[in-house]
A and B are shown apart, each in its own frame.
Chain A
């Protein structure tokens, strides 16, 4: 519910300051908001960062290029595969390393799988924030667990995958694994999406709690650097997979879901729709992989390259991560360690407009709005 300034004047009372977080389940980690309330309505909100800060960028400047790949797993720990991808993408740009076609398609399969895993979590946790007390969350986590089983089998780890290498991947991916992923997406996961849509997407309570809550206008979203599903929920058709056409996305047919109102409900629906698009992308990439020889010898040319020394220069490269634009800005001085290693974290920058979205909303809605932004503190604080 949004109160007009006029209505606010009528019910004006004593202001109360509360500190929401850092130890609060709805902040999804150690995030804190200093909120000033007028009754139940937010009149001021200042986020406080840094509880999970470990100066990841400084650590990476003391590592070889290869040694930083496992560190990127720990940024947004829900989707380490896309973190790996963004980092190796930047190093490949910096050092001019080509990527073979088979590896590109496999990266697309894994990157979209990471997007699905991320969105499944988001949808589950957002509904939990709305007070559905775990049932939708457990359904979501059940599906996530099935996908993580596949990821674990492939990479050796459920979450800290460390699977991408400069110019390829750590290992090839077997046809058998791909076939099982295909079977799961077509059966169990498709059922989950339909079930979720049938039970929740049109649910009256969900609509009442999320429609016209935390509206983000398109102009503000662009100005504040909001990216990813949050930007598209505000009606801006901007997806880096389409704009930059990195990897082989230009060869694949998929839609970019666009929201209309930029409210919390649109942000929820963006994730539901994007999961269906990601399934389409994975299936197309798998079809293309069928025609490419498995275990092609060229798949891991620089995979073990501890001694990578890019020519002095700099490169900024970005991908469409599940949460928005994930970019890496690397500067090489010609040695084996990056002279400057900078991460452009979508989770942090998407919080720029948090106060604007929460003003005039109730405290209970603030929790839901934050949930719909989709942050992971490992990336916010780095």
Chain B
């Protein structure tokens, strides 16, 4: 990248482009304070699928490849998150564009909190969103085949949640 030009894949250059197309407040910058400085975009669930399609099809970005989806449980902040890492195979981008989708709460008992599924946009999310549903209990609305992936079907709990108590331990506590 020649000096002076803005990297089109940085969140700073994507945000104004999203502001042109979508209503205000649909995407906000989340700053990463760590050494890697991987800043991300927090998306409003109602427009997430449209934004994802825009990012995938925009000729300057062509984020045609969703590499990774991470589930997160922010116990103290009171919500769950799905974090997507996007790259462009066509443009050979080397830094990820990071999207975050947040649930409105953590839900109690069976999976009741949801975010929109991005599997219809990037099929590589299919198994990864199933895994997050399985281990965190986030329901991905619009997912074509949302079933548990690693745990067995009869399993009730979500073991990756921060407040998960493994069976047997509660009796001794």
Residues of A bordering B, CB below 8 Å: 49-50, 53, 55, 57-58, 93-96, 220, 222-227, 236, 238, 243-245, 310-318, 325, 327, 329, 331-332, 340, 342, 344, 348-349, 351-353, 381-382
Contacts and interface: CB of A to CB of B under 8 A. Distances in A.
Contact of A340 (B70, B85, B148): B70
- Chain B at the A interface: mostly helix, strand, loop or mixed? loop
A315 B38 contact: yes
A94 B38 CA distance: 10
Interface stretch (B4-12, B21-29, B60-68, B105-113): B60-68
B34 A223 contact: no
B46 interface: no
Interface in B32-59: 32-38
B96 interface: yes
Contact of A329 (B68, B152, B160): B68
Nearest to A220: B123
A355 to B, nearest CB: 11
Nearest to B71: A342
A243 B160 contact: no
Interface string B132-168: 0001000000000000111110000001100000000
A223 B72 contact: no
A348 B124 CA distance: 10
Nearest to A332: B34
B127 A315 contact: no
A351 B89 contact: no
B68 A344 contact: yes
Given A93-B36, A244-B94, A314-B32, A348 B67 contact: no
A223 B160 contact: no
Nearest to A353: B123
Contacts of A225: 65-67, 122-125
B143 to A, nearest CB: 13
12 contacts: A49-B150, A53-B150, A58-B159, A58-B160, A94-B36, A224-B123, A225-B122, A313-B34, A316-B98, A342-B68, A349-B124, A382-B150
